[in-house]
Amino acid sequence: MTMPDNFRAFRIHADREDYRAGIEDVSLDDLSPGEVVVRTAWSSVNYKDALAGTGKGRILRRSPLVGGIDVAGHVVASTDPAFREGDAVLCTGCGLSETRDGGYAEYARLESRWALPLPAGLDLREAMILGTAGFTAALSLHRMEQNGQTPEMGPVVVTGATGGVGMLAIDILTRAGYEAHAITGKMDRLDFLKLLGARQVISRRELHWGQRPLETATWAGAIDNVGDEMLAGLTRVIQPYGNIASCGLAGGHSLATTVMPFIIRGVSLLGIASAGTARHIRDAVWQRLGSDWKPANLDGICTKTVTLDELGGVFDTMLDGGSFGRTLVQVAA
């Protein structure tokens, strides 16, 4: 397949004195090296993309880079025989928009070791509604189950419930047979959270956890997108041998708690670092996302679709906590 000499990309310049981001014309030679060239169909907007795209978080470790930590599309050329022209592939994390050029461009160049053939059960659009957010939610449950979590232990609570990771976590937990509960700052979205499967929805502003090192054990596990006081509070209220997956910092990056939940209740705090997940775990989690863990409400969870030109407008809302569901980026589908 022939490709144009130049194509459009949302490129971020994050130098010490100069921060700017916007649409530029780039060529294949401008992109980080890799074996697989992909015609991008879809990408998505994650919290990390908003941090990178506005310069409000130090995400890029090289500059300039094309933004976008997620990408899905069709292979146009590959020097690795494992991929052929026309193959549908996706990539999430793996250094995109951090150490190498990402998915906010009409073409992306990927390292073949991180390009995943599209799993059975998903189309490219669905794969990007999931994107890093869905992979992170599923990776959280994967790690919790590896550490002994089962539906029989009781309900699992999800914080930051109306965000991308949060909504997908509620849907995935429900598909996996868990009773999911939601903690949210947006009680006006209660009906939608219930539609996803949340059996209880609790207002973040009306949480009355005590401050003792151990409070009444309420949940068997938690997927936390918020961090700081929320995560500290969760450590005090998780049942014996329950797991807390710490994946986010939408409320802050601190953590002030005691060792009591760990040494008295055997609670485990599991770190979730989706971008650097090993390939064999990545493959296993994506297989489940296309099969028994596939969220039932992907179309509803995708609340917005934007073009490359419209990207700048969505970042600030996300960083201000105004997100509701997932934003897709339609590049060429």
Ligand X SMILES: NC(=O)c1ccc[n+]([C@@H]2O[C@H](COP(=O)([O-])OP(=O)(O)OC[C@H]3O[C@@H](n4cnc5c(N)ncnc54)[C@H](OP(=O)(O)O)[C@@H]3O)[C@@H](O)[C@H]2O)c1
| Chain residues in the site for ligand X (CB under 6 A) | 46-48, 132-133, 136, 160-166, 184-186, 204, 225-226, 247-251, 272-275, 318, 321, 323
Angle between helices 312-319 and 47-54 (to 10 degrees): 110
Contact 3, 293 (CB under 8 A): no
Of 38 and 133, the one with the shorter C-beta distance to ligand X is 133
Of 235 and 274, the one with the shorter C-beta distance to ligand X is 274
Of 43 and 162, the one with the shorter C-beta distance to ligand X is 162
* Residue 138 C-alpha from the chain's centroid: 9
Residue number, nearest CB to ligand X? 163
User: How many alpha carbons lie under 13 Å from residue 298 in its C-beta half-sphere?
Assistant: 19
CB of 6 to ligand X, least distance (A): 31
Of 70 and 106, the one with the shorter C-beta distance to ligand X is 70
CB of 171 to ligand X, least distance (A): 13
Of 78 and 323, the one with the shorter C-beta distance to ligand X is 323
CB of 233 to ligand X, least distance (A): 11
CB of 72 to ligand X, least distance (A): 17
Of 105 and 130, the one with the shorter C-beta distance to ligand X is 130
Nearest Cα to Cα of residue 227 among 248, 202, 244, 209 = 248
Of 309 and 316, the one with the shorter C-beta distance to ligand X is 316
CB of 87 to ligand X, least distance (A): 26
Contact 107, 332 (CB under 8 A): no
Burial of 190 (C-beta count, 10 Å sphere; 0-12/13-18/19+): middle
Distance CA 159, CA 248 (A): 9
Distance CA 46, CA 329 (A): 11
Q: SS3 breakdown of the chain: % helix, strand, coil, rounded to 5? A: 35, 30, 40
Both tokens assigned to 18: 């100069």
Query: How does DSSP assign 219-251, residue by residue?
Result: EEEEEESS-HHHHHHHHHHEEEEEEEEE---TT
Q: Which residue has the tokens 């409070």?
A: 215
CB of 160 to ligand X, least distance (A): 3
CB of 251 to ligand X, least distance (A): 3
| CA distances in angstroms from 293 to 27, 142, 165, 182, 208, listed in the order given | 38, 10, 14, 18, 32
Both tokens assigned to 151: 């539906």
Of 164 and 221, the one with the shorter C-beta distance to ligand X is 164
Distance CA 245, CA 285 (A): 15
Of 46 and 297, the one with the shorter C-beta distance to ligand X is 46
CB of 69 to ligand X, least distance (A): 8
CB of 95 to ligand X, least distance (A): 13
